[in-house]
Amino acid sequence: KVSSFKPGSTNQTEVVAALGKPLHTIQEADGTKIDQYPAEAGAKSGSGFWPEWIGGTSTGGAYNMISFEYSPGGILKDINGGK
């Protein structure tokens, strides 16, 4: 899913529609917003966010995060993590 998001053209509403509500949202003083999701949210087989110790099936670190950074106008600027 993550590969379908294009910095400079995708907006925050489109990301939330595809991935659901973020785990965390950070609001910077300059108006930049950063939404954070567990890496599994963007995985092709992502069935949910359940760490192995709860009984989920995780491939890799259960707490890897993907951050989506948006300009003050809500347009995607950058994607970090989840690789």
Mean pLDDT of 49-67: 57
Q: How confident is the model at residue 41 (pLDDT cuts 50, 70, 90)?
A: low
CA distance 63 to 39: 7
Q: What separation, in Å, do the N-terminal and C-terminal C-alpha atoms of the chain show?
A: 13
Confidence check: pLDDT of 27 > 60: yes
Cα Rg, the chain, nearest whole Å: 13
For residue range 6-23, list pLDDT tens digits in order.
Answer: 999 999 999 999 999 999
Secondary structure string (H, E, C) spanning the chain:
CHHHCCCCCCEHHHHHHHHCCCCEEEECCCCCEEEEEEHHHHCCCCCCCCCHHHCCCCCCCCCCEEEEEECCCCEEEEEEECC
